[in-house]
Every structure is written in C-alpha cells, then in structure tokens.
Amino acid sequence: MPSGKLPPAAGQLQLNFCKTLTCPNFGSMDEQDYLVQRSNPARPTLVCRECGAFPPLLNNQQVHAELIAQRQLHADGLCACTNPACEHLGKPVLTYRHCYHAFGYSGDRQRYRCKGCQSTFVDRWSGINKKSELQQKLLAFLFTGHTVREICRRLSLNPKTFYDHLNQIAARCRQKLAAYDTRFLSDTSTGHLASVHAPLQPNSENGVQWLATGEAHSGYILLQDVNYHSYDHDHLTEHHDPYQDACRFMATTNAGQRSEPTPRPDGLLGRVDAKYREVFSRSNVEDPYTQPLHFIYPNRGTLIRPQYTTYAHYLNLKPFIDHWQHIVVFSPQEPYCARLVYPFSKPIFVTNG
Ligand SMILES: [Zn+2]
Ligand SMILES: [Zn+2]
C-alpha cells in the first residue's frame, strides 16, 4: 500500500494542503511539509508538520471530473463548445467570439467551429422561433395558475409536447441569461459574494443539497449547483477513500436512522456553537454524511459527496471573477464552504454566516 504520498494532482490541481490561514504551510503543495498517515485505510490523514492541522484529503481527479460535469450542465442548451476535454467547454459564442469561427449554415441556422478542438455545432437560437406565439401563450397560462392538463387541452398539446416546449423555453432563458452574466461581470471589478447552502427539497429529505453563490447586495445569482447527477453511476462507494477512482459517488446505504430533531439553540452564539459541535461529530469535517444522517436516497440518479460539489463550484466561479481586485465572500458556517476560497489567489475575506 502506498504511504506518505498525497493523492496525485490533476494537472495543476492539488487541493491537499494545510488550510490554516496563519500557518506558514498554508497553501503549500510540497509533500515534505506534511505527513500522510494511512494506518487506517478507511481514513487516511494528512497532518501538517508545522501546525498539526489535519485537513481531510480529496481526490483531485474527482474534483476535476465534477468541475467538468458542472460546466457541461451549465452549458446545456447554450450555443457553445460541448466537448468536455476542450478548454472552451461552455463558453458561449455570444461573449467568447474569439474562441470560434463562423462555419457556414445549417438551414437558416449559423454553424460554428471551435478553435480549441475543431468540433462544430449549430446555433439553435439563430433562426426564427416559429413556436414563439404558442410558447408565449403556454407561459401566460402557467403564470396565471392553470394546470398542465388544462393548458394541454386549451392549446391542443399532449403532455410530452408540453414538457418539450417547457424545456425549450428554459433553454432560451438560459441563453439570454448567459448574456446578462457576461454584462454583469464585465461591469464589476470588485464585489461582495454570498453563498447559501440548503436542502434542495427539504420536504422530500432526498439528501440533495443546493449551493448558490450570488452578489450579496442585488441577489443576482452567478452560479448554482447541486450534489446530484440525474444519471446512475457504477462504483458507488460506502466510504470515502481519496485514493480510489469514483470516490465522489455516494452509496445508497449511507443513510442513517431518523433521529429526534434537536431544538434550535437560542441566540447567535448558541447556534454557532451547536454548528461547531455538529461539524466535529463528523469523521470527515468536510462531509456531513460521515455522521449518521437520515435521508432517502433518490430512486434515480446519484448523490455526490458534497465537498466535491462545493470545491468544483468555487473552481468554476474563479474564472468569472478573475478580474476583480477584491473579493469578499459570505459563506455558510460549513468547513466545506469556507475552505473553498482557496482557488482564489487574490486578497479575499471570508465571513462565516
Ligand atoms: Zn499548517
Ligand atoms: Zn472546443
């Protein structure tokens, strides 16, 4: 069994380092600065030789894979390169003209070729939307509280066509939003960001967490992700071993028993203290699922260990705000959120909220 080795880097990405802000080894990727203990194979540990902190280990390849999966999802429906291996993945033609060549037409739709990987794709938004009138009616009915059945009857649609239209409308909104994102970011050079982290569907208790980062004053959401893939993966793992492939996929057997809800303590300090206790009761402070936690694993799809979702989320956020001079992030009181700012090399202030 290999010992004393950090999980290998993924390209430039090595996230296993001391995360104590005041420690001289903070951010150091030199293996000499650490001791990697693998006496318990289920729980390998990184110990900082300087300050003694033991940040949980991560599989860098898995963080990178999650980053690509998120980027593909964000780019879904956009007129952009969709090749996961390409540096231009998800960059919309609209705002990254220099990444693409115009490459003829397909019917009345513009075709482009990516300069990075030479793949070609069609701008599905460039032609006329022949369904515009129908889709506007559909939306109007939806917004005025009509049921799906009623809308289908009034517009003579079957339910499948209804949902196809809805997906098309969503994709069109996504395309418009990409333009707003770019305009918003190009107009700002400094800012306050706030992240929120909450169960996506609290009543269904399905273990899916939602992480969104927005501009703190306007509430404009820049990026949002969930620790869930809608498709099934093989090789689900019961315990997180950062030296194993596919270690970010959670096994369905992780769920704990339902426990009595503990009363919410009074006062801010009481709540902060209770959260610390909860965090330290985990065997991996960055993974809330390493304490017995009750949830019902979704029937379809795969849960991702939340630390992989969050690291990937912030790594994806980084290029958006690379031009910002100062960044302040208000983050939830969660180690796997607060630590995430490491991708940023600029002066950055983190406030746990
Ligand atoms: Zn240290
Ligand atoms: Zn490409």
Question: Would you place residue 37 in the very low, low, confident or very high pLDDT band (cuts 50, 70, 90)?
Answer: confident
What is residue 296's predicted lDDT score, i.e. its pLDDT? 85
Overall pTM surpassing 0.75 (yes/no): yes
Report how far residue 310's alpha carbon sits from residue 14's, in angstroms, rounded to the nearest whole number: 15
58-101 tens-digit pLDDT: 999 999 999 999 999 888 878 899 999 999 998 888 888 999 99
Neighbours of ion ligand 1 (CB under 5 A): 18, 20, 23, 25, 48, 50-51, 53
CA 74 / ligand 1 centre spacing (Å):
35
Report how far residue 202's alpha carbon sits from residue 76's, in angstroms, rounded to the nearest whole number: 26
Spans of all domains in the chain: 1-55, 64-186, 190-322+328-352
Whole-angstrom CA distances from 334 to 6, 37, 236, 288 are 24, 25, 25, 9
Our measurement of the distance from residue 274's CA atom to the centroid of its chain's CA atoms, rounded to an integer in Å, reads 26
Report how far residue 307's alpha carbon sits from residue 339's, in angstroms, rounded to the nearest whole number: 10
Residue of 322 and 4 predicted with greater confidence = 322
Neighbours of ion ligand 2 (CB under 5 A): 81, 83, 86, 88, 114, 116-117
- Report the range of poorest mean pLDDT among 86-90, 273-277, 302-306, 346-350: 346-350
Contact (Cβ atoms closer than 8 angstroms) between residue 221 and residue 214: yes
What is residue 347's predicted lDDT score, i.e. its pLDDT? 45
Closest CA to 288 of 317, 309, 270: 309
Interacting residues of 27 by C-beta distance below 8 A, sequence separation 6+ = 17, 18, 342
pLDDT at position 146 over 60: yes
Report how far residue 102's alpha carbon sits from residue 280's, in angstroms, rounded to the nearest whole number: 55
Report how far residue 323's alpha carbon sits from residue 258's, in angstroms, rounded to the nearest whole number: 46
